[in-house]
Structure formats: structure tokens, C-alpha cells
Amino acid sequence: MNLNDSDAKWFPKWFAAYYSFPPVSRARSKNPGSRNAPVTEELVIEFLKDLKNHRQPAWRRLQAARALEFYQGIILRCNEVDFRPIRETLHVWVNREKCIPDGCGEYSPDLVAGEGNAGVIDDQEPKCIQRMRSTLRRLHHPKSTEDAYVGQVKKFIRHVGDERLEKFGEPEIGDFLTDLAINRDFAANSQNQALSALLFFYGKVLGRNLHFINSIQAKKSTYLPVVLTRSEIEELFSYMSGSYRLMFLIMYGGGLRHRECRTLRLKDICLEKRTITVRDGKGMKDRVTVLPDSAVPILEVQIASVRAIHQGDLDDGLGEVYLPYALAKKYPRAQRDLAWQYLFPSPKISRDPRSGRKRRHHIHERTFAYHFKRALDRSDILKKAIPHSLRHSFATHLLEDGADIRTVQELLGHKDVQTTMIYTHVMNRPGISVRSPSDRLGLL
């Protein structure tokens, strides 16, 4: 058996894991005169099942099986275990998880399960849901979109009482949306999300173009965004600490959305030019916004912290970070580079639920929201502010300071200037200065 570089690196590690596997250790203890680990079909299958229980992808389990086969043939010089059916079964799972192309016997680092391909999908889910997950992943949609769309389609399945959605069309979708608007009192945005999910399913999964859908839609409310005053910003900021102070400064000082701030990477920050490059913002667009000078000292400390964390991960044989789309194929070594690490990394290593890869992701979406809410509770502010209110405040304060509406539009990444115009309605002095008539009378 010829060993490539990957096998030469990993075969000893897989054998070490097998050697210390508790059932193997117990089997060794029965024969204290031998230092070799016994290889039996029962032990091998139990070991591979344990790897699966620890969410090791199929291509890794296949490599582990090949390592044990190599050990049996070269070290033990026997053929007690027939590894052919084991390898054939694992090859089926490997191809099913799309970790490697069909018919290929080795792992391909160009393809990662669940990232631009089907990945691991629960075969207990309805067939239509499995197909939808596969399509969403091939088209590089994030997990949040996958969860939201799948949730809406499952609601539609419960509505029609049938998993074979190809039987239905515009009338049933119209009835479903009407039911959401009237009987379930869904907000307009939730109803629109349900429609988008069904349009995606019928258009991208089934290849059908839906025509006019007659439904009663929930009335979309018009509201003004919650904007914090400058003094309220200062008060809230005084209750923030650590890296959350930096996130606060970046979101308010640069107008970033919460998600855009969480997903920043070190390479997106330019200290010299005082700019932040926002990658893959809303609408999958990139833009450049301002990096506040006040954030620089804290930012330098944060970068040093990320550097130390990443070096520790590399020393532990980890250090990999998620790369979007085809970048992992184009830059295969970039996933371990410092420049691609998240500016706000998670405090712990986690396993990607779609690919099974162990990585350090960015902090969870609820982390900053929790600290923001705690700061709000400690303050005297009565407004129902959320992290996104920092972005609203950024835009409003820029306009109050005389910034051009088009400049604010570009900094925010709005496609239509009408979206930016909403902030002119919440400025302290919209348009010309207006004085209340009661002030002129001096009633008090």
C-alpha cells in the first residue's frame, strides 16, 4: 500500500487513537506479553462507530480504516480482518456526504462537506427537505438562511398535510400565506420570508416558475427606528467592557450591522487608512466604512489577543477557520493564516454542524446582545434599543452633523437612497429648525 503525504501524517495518529481506545486497551491487557494492538472485526467496527459518534466525517473514518488495514498488513503481517466491505461502506458514506467526488478513493481538500455541496443531511427528514438543504448548501447560503427557509417549508407541509409538495402550487401557497396573515397573526416580514422560502423551493429545487399568488397579506407597519442620543451613547458605552467595548465602538463608529461586526476578520481592518472593509454584507455586497480613531488602542489589544489565541490553536494542531465559498479551494492554506482569523473569535473550539470540521468560529450572535441588554438595564435609558440601534444612531448623527445623504448611503451599504432617507425623519432638527408654537407663548 503506497502512502501519500496525508496518509504518512495521519496514519500514526489514527493508530495511536485506536491503540488507546478503551476496548482495545482491555484486549491488550489480556495478553501482557505483546505490545501490539489486536485487530479484530469487532474492535475495528466499534472503533469506527465511536469516531462517528464523535461526529468524525466519513472521509476521516475511511482514512482511519485504511490506517488499521496498513497496520494489520505491515506490522501484524496477517489478514484476519477483511477491510474491503468496510472500505466499500465508508466510500458510500463519503460520496453521500460529498466530501470527495464520486469514484475517488482519497480525500479532496478542495471540497468540504456542507460548504458548497450537500454535506451531511439527516435522512429521517422528508425528501423534499433533504433536497432543499442540499440546494441551499450548493448555492452557498448560510446556515441561518437554511434554518429559516426549511422552517417555513415545514410549516407549509403541516398546512397541506402532505410531504409531496410537487403536487401543490399557487392556490395552496396563497391559502397558506392567508392563514399566516389572518389566523396566526404573522408579521409582514415573517409572511414575506415564508413566501421567499416557497419561491426558492419551487424555483430552485423543483424548477417550477410560480405565477401570481393570490393571498391576503399582513399589513406591513411603518415605524421609525430607535435612535440613541449622543449622551445615551456615552452612558451605554460606560457600561461596556472588554472586547464588547470595541464591538460597540465599531458598530456605532462605522455603522456596521451586528452580523457584519461579528464576522470581521483581521485582514478587513486597515489601521493606517482608518478603514473597515465589510465583506458579504446584506445583499452579498462589500463596502468600505470608517474606523473610528477612538477604537484603535482597544483594537490593537484585541488583535494581539487574537494572535495569541490563534498561535495556541496552531500548537494544538487546530487553527482552522471557515472560508466562504470557493476561497478554501483557491487559497487552501489561508484557513490557518492569521489574517483570515475572526477579529472577535469564540472563546471555544466548536464543530461545524454541517461539515463536522473543528474550528474556532466568531462569537455567537447572542453574546454581544446579552451584554448590550445588560448595559441598557443598568442605565437610565427607557428606549427599547437593540444592537442594531447603534447603526441607526450612526446614520442619524452623521446627518445631523451635515454629512451628505449619498455619503451616508454608501457607508451604510444601502442599495436605494430612499432607505437612507428614513433617518431624516428621526433627526433632532429635520430640515430647517422648527420651534414649537407653545414655546413662543411661554405657557409655563
Q: How far apart are CA 135 and CA 197, in angstroms?
A: 12
Q: Which residues contact 289 (CB under 8 A, 6 or more apart)?
A: 254, 255, 256, 275, 276, 278, 411
Residues labelled as active-site residues:
257, 282, 388, 391, 414, 423
Q: How far apart are CA 100 and CA 79, in angstroms?
A: 28
Starting at the edge strand found earlier in the chain, the sheet holding 275-278 runs 269-270, 275-278, 287-290
- Cβ pair 227, 384 in contact under 8 A: no
Q: How far apart are CA 263 and CA 279, in angstroms?
A: 8
Query: In 3D, which of 342, 363, 373, 237 has the Cα closest to residue 295?
Result: 237
| H runs (alpha helix) in 72-187 | 84-97, 127-138, 143-160, 170-182
CA dihedral 300, 305, 311, 315 (to 10 degrees): 170
Q: State the cell numbers at 219.
A: 399589513
Q: What is residue 359's three-state secondary structure?
A: strand
- Cβ pair 360, 342 in contact under 8 A: yes
Residue 194: Cβ-neighbour burial (10 angstroms; 0-12, 13-18, 19+)? buried
Residue 85 has, within 13 A of its CA and on its CB side, a CA count of 5
Render 32-78 in DSSP notation, one character per residue. TT--SPP--HHHHHHHHHHHHHTT--HHHHHHHHHHHHHHIIIII--
What are the φ and ψ backbone dihedral angles of 20, each rounded to 5 degrees? -95, 0
Q: Which residues pair with 345 in a beta bridge?
A: 362
For the chain, how far is it from start to end, CA to CA, in angstroms? 95
Q: State the cell numbers at 444.
A: 409655563
